[in-house]
Amino acid sequence: MAKERMTAAELMARYLEKRGVKHIYGVPGAAILPFYDAIRELTAIESYVVRHEQTGAFMADGYSRATGEVGVCVATSGPGGTNFLTGLYSAWMDSIPMIAITGQQKNSLIGTMQFQEAPIVEMAKPVTKASYRLTDGSKAAEFIHEAWITATTGRRGPVLLDLPVDQQKVEVEVDLDALIASTPANNLPSASDEDIHKTFLLLKEAKRPVLISGGGVNLANATAELKALAEELQIPVVTTGMGMDTFPNDHPLFAGRMGTMLDTPFGNKTVIEADLVINLGGRFADRSTGNVAVFTQNGKKIIHVNIDNKELGKTVPATLGVVSDVKSFMVKLTEAHKSLKAAVAAAVETDVKLDLTEERKKWARKTDYTTLPIRQERALRELREFLDRDAFVSHDCGISQIWSCQLFETYEPRTYLLTGGAGTMGWGLGAAMAAKLAYPERQSVNILGDGSLGMSLQDLATAAKHNIPVIIFCLNNSLLGLIRQQQNWFYGERRISTDLNYINELCDNTDRGIDFVKTAEGMGVRGELITHYDDIKPALQRAVNSGKPYLLEVIVDPDPEKACEFSNNGALNGFTYSSQIDFSKQ
Ligand SMILES: Cc1ncc(C[n+]2csc(CCOP(=O)(O)OP(=O)(O)O)c2C)c(N)n1
Ligand SMILES: [Mg+2]
């Protein structure tokens, strides 16, 4: 193709379309109108208007997590851009590639505090992989091209592009196809033969080796390779919170999850008792390892595989640190193991396969409650039983999210959407909507508490306006439950600002505070109040049948002492040994 003449804004819109971008999520304002206009006039990209820019950023992030592609959100200058910051931070903490585009004051006025001028590039820098301003519209081609490459190569992450309104209108000549064809190969670091050999030797010495699967396994689209490696080595797999959906939770080699909150007791036990762990694409976050001295006790050997060398040795010293794309590491190790055919010490006879299914069941937490108000554990169980294996579930932060991480089984990659690093309340609705837009044929549910729904409530209108048939599964205890629990446990029951209930005749007079059903209906989203276990599945069925967004407000037991249990000493050995753990008896 020959060079064509277009404005910088047109160039960016067309570049994104050529890269496969199908949607933008955001709120327009004067300073970004040239770009919006180009999207409308020149592309087939669909624009979703949200009710708060933060939700737009969460949608871009959720789209990326669900698909592995780049999500794009757009806001105007000033408050539009600053409303993106929590979204950028949430994506950055979990290495999610997305592009956030903001309008900006004219170049000549920058630095003079004119209307809606905000130093968004500087503000976003610490929470993005890169943050750029288009100071010269004639360089728009290099600008967008570099941004795309930055977001999508190496350890990926969000990139912010700030576009002064006058620079968006600058005319340039460009051959877009040639520009895209000039993309350099994404050469990821890969484990050396020596790394693989050393890994092999450590495995051979180990009596109780374990694979830890982190979020990087999803980011590298390497879940099939993980399965192949585990099956070849015949050793257990434990996931981190971010790795929840990297290994089928009903696989014979699945041992559970590790962590001080997002854990299963069997997962923690397996890791604590291991003499060798291989961390695949995780970063040893504090919520995963807990007290590092306990985690590394008894001379545990640690192999840490990460694409980013800055992660190695950052929090947990590694016996062997390997800078590698996790997928190529796993492929190489699987091949080496196959060809060497030497038995790993801990592996059972080659024809006997390890099966942890019964052991996993023995350690399962209790979920078959019948008492009312509804227990969160049973509510989540009903939900899991109802949903398809490949359904998306997105989360906010709170007891409901922690229970979900402890109890919810996942089977398919990129289905369990979680802000692992940031723990952002208000995040899940946007993520669930974006996943549903990406895969309309699959179910998409936002599991969240009432406090969290209060932080995304306005965007029920986005689901209604654009008819995005997500299910909002709100576990309402009329509390900021997780924080309330901490006040009870660690602050001598001195509670402050954690009860959200109030009695009001306009809110159903039930002392539950917001009447979410009524509120949702005010925005065009059908809602149902659920107070009995038997109502959960039929209501979910009605939600699916409706083909529309649907809210289930499930009134759950507000007693935080009966709510989620987590490691009581901040370490992985703080779990309770018992066969059917019933924390309500504590
Ligand atoms: C944006 C944001 N603000 C504050 C917090 C701190 N925080 C974590 S959990 C929580 C309470 C969540 O309440 P709710 O959504 O009702 O969930 P519950 O714990 O009651 O299940 C709070 C305030 C947070 N994670 N994110
Ligand atoms: Mg709550």
HEC assignment per residue over 334-353? HHHHHHHCCCCCCCCCCCCC
pLDDT of 362 higher than 70: yes
Distance from the CA of 238 to the center of ligand 2, in angstroms?
29
Lowest mean pLDDT, pick from 217-226, 359-368, 369-378: 359-368
Residue 413 is predicted with a pLDDT of: 98
Query: What three-state secondary structure class fits 567?
Result: coil
Residue 575 is predicted with a pLDDT of: 63
State how far the Cα of 216 lies from the Cα of 465, in Å rounded to an integer. Answer: 35
Lowest mean pLDDT, pick from 188-202, 288-302, 330-344: 330-344
For the whole model, what pTM was predicted?
A: 0.96
Residues 140-148, mean pLDDT to the nearest whole number: 98
Contact 404, 381 (CB under 8 A): no
Ligand nearest to the CA of 380: 1
Residue 490 is predicted with a pLDDT of: 85
Structurally, at CATH architecture level, domain 376-562 sits in 3-Layer(aba) Sandwich (3.40)
Per-residue pLDDT of 486-508, as tens digits, reads 898 889 999 999 999 999 888 87
**Cα angle for residues 268, 271, 276 (degrees, 5° grid):** 175
pLDDT of 199 higher than 50: yes
Per-residue pLDDT of 542-585, as tens digits, reads 999 999 999 999 999 988 566 666 666 678 877 653 333 443 33
Contact 418, 397 (CB under 8 A): no
pLDDT of 350 higher than 60: no
| Mutation to probe ligand 1, out of 55, 480, 516, 553 (largest number of atoms < 8 A from CB) | 480
DSSP string, 286-348: HHHHBSHHHHTTTT-EEEEEES-GGGTTSSS--SEEEES-HHHHHHHHHHHHHHH-PPPTTSP
Residue 314 is predicted with a pLDDT of: 93
| Mutation to probe ligand 1, out of 375, 452, 476 (largest number of atoms < 8 A from CB) | 452
Residue 236 is predicted with a pLDDT of: 98
Residue 505 is predicted with a pLDDT of: 87
What confidence category does residue 320 fall into, taking pLDDT thresholds of 50, 70 and 90? very high
pLDDT of 71 higher than 60: yes
Tokens 């192949």 locate to 228
Distance from the CA of 477 to the center of ligand 2, in angstroms?
5
Distance from the CA of 357 to the center of ligand 2, in angstroms?
33
pLDDT of 349 higher than 80: no
What confidence category does residue 177 fall into, taking pLDDT thresholds of 50, 70 and 90? very high
Residue 263 is predicted with a pLDDT of: 85
Strand 526-530 with 471-476, pairing: unpaired
| Residue-range domain boundaries for the chain | 4-181, 193-363, 376-562
Average pLDDT of the chain? 93
pLDDT of 348 higher than 50: no
Distance from the CA of 451 to the center of ligand 1, in angstroms?
6
Residue 566 is predicted with a pLDDT of: 65
Phi, psi of 442 (to 5 degrees): -105, 155
Residue 506 is predicted with a pLDDT of: 87
Say whether 193-363 and 4-181 share the same fold: yes
Lowest mean pLDDT, pick from 24-38, 50-64, 400-414, 552-566: 552-566
Residue 182 is predicted with a pLDDT of: 96
Tell the residue nearest (CA) to atom 20 of ligand 1.
481
Residues 459-463, mean pLDDT to the nearest whole number: 98
Q: What CATH topology corresponds to 4-181?
A: Rossmann fold (3.40.50)
State how far the Cα of 71 lies from the Cα of 23, in Å rounded to an integer. Answer: 8
Distance from the CA of 446 to the center of ligand 1, in angstroms?
15
Residue 563 is predicted with a pLDDT of: 60
pLDDT of 341 higher than 70: no
Q: In what order do the strands lie in the sheet with 130-133?
A: 46-49, 23-26, 71-75, 98-104, 158-164, 130-133
User: What's the 3-state SS for 393-460?
Assistant: EEECCCHHHHHHHHHCCCCCCCCEECCCCCCCCCCHHHHHHHHHHHCCCCCEEEEEEHHHHCCCHHHH
Q: Identify which of 540, 528, 553, 533 has the alpha carbon closest to the alpha carbon of residue 452.
A: 553
Per-residue pLDDT of 247-260, as tens digits, reads 999 999 999 999 98
> Which residues have C-beta atoms less than 6 Å from ligand 1?
396-400, 423-426, 448-452, 475, 477, 479-483
Per-residue pLDDT of 96-105, as tens digits, reads 999 999 999 9
Residues 278-293, mean pLDDT to the nearest whole number: 92
Q: Is 193-363 a domain of CATH 3.40.50.1220? A: yes
